[in-house]
Structure 1
Amino acid sequence: MGEQERWRHMASAPRDGSRVLVTVRPSEQGPAEVDVAYWSHGDQFGPEGWRASDSSPGCIIEYAEPELKCWMPMPSANPGRASTPSPWEGDDARQLDGSGI
């Protein structure tokens, strides 16, 4: 897996409004999943925090920090790529970025 195609700890996620892939932790609502999100500095529609990229002013989908497990840069457009990556399923968050070594 290339440098661009690996899961990273949320503490290192960009907070500049750029869209990234995130692993949403499993919950009562369902299993872990991958979503596209961005950091919002807050506006008239909601407070500062992570939002799903398909949010709109009338329907803001916000993620609390504990809901997001890790992030990955958006993949480049590549016709040979079949699908999005699978959610991170590791038990130990220290494994992200190789910090468990």
Structure 2
Amino acid sequence: MDETDRWRHMAVAPKDGRRILVTIRPSEQGAAEVDLAYWSNGDQFGPEGWRASDSSPGRLVEYAEPELKCWMPMPTANLGGSSMPSPWEGDDAQQLDGTGI
């Protein structure tokens, strides 16, 4: 597995606006899933925080910190592979790539 294809703690996720993949925790609304998200410093449309990349002015999809389990950089194009990795299914106590410190 390529080094970029590893799930990492949200504590070390980049907050510079670049798009990343995130695992959304399972909830009563459904199973864990992967989404494309970015950190927004806030604007006239909403406060600072994580937003789904398909958000638009007036239709923000925002994630609270506890909703997001881990992240990984956008993978390089792999025409023979799947379009999205599987969500992180491990226990929170398991070590993800990075310490989160």
TM-score relative to the length of structure 2: 0.92
Q: 1:31-77: per-residue Cα shift (whole Å, max 9, x none)?
A: 00000000000000000000000000020000000000000000112
CA distance in 2, matches of 1:8, 1:91: 13
Q: Is the 8 A contact 1:9 1:93 kept in 2?
A: no
Partner in structure 2 of residue 63 of structure 1 = 63
Q: Is the 8 A contact 1:23 1:71 kept in 2?
A: yes
Partner in structure 2 of residue 39 of structure 1 = 39
Matched, 1:2 2:15: no
Q: Is the 8 A contact 2:8 2:98 kept in 1?
A: no
* Deviation, structure 1 residue 94: 4.2
CA distance in 2, matches of 1:87, 1:9: 13
Q: Is the 8 A contact 1:21 1:35 kept in 2?
A: yes
Partner in structure 1 of residue 78 of structure 2 = 78
Alignment length (residue pairs): 99
* Deviation, structure 1 residue 83: 2.9
Question: Per chain length, whose mean CA-contact separation is higher, i.e. which structure has more relative contact order (CA < 8 Å, sep 6+)?
Answer: 2
TM-score relative to the length of structure 1: 0.92
Shift of the 98–13 alpha-carbon distance from structure 1 to 2, 3 Å rule, reads closer
* Deviation, structure 1 residue 78: 2.0
Unpaired segments ≥5 residues, structure 1? none
Unpaired segments ≥5 residues, structure 2? none
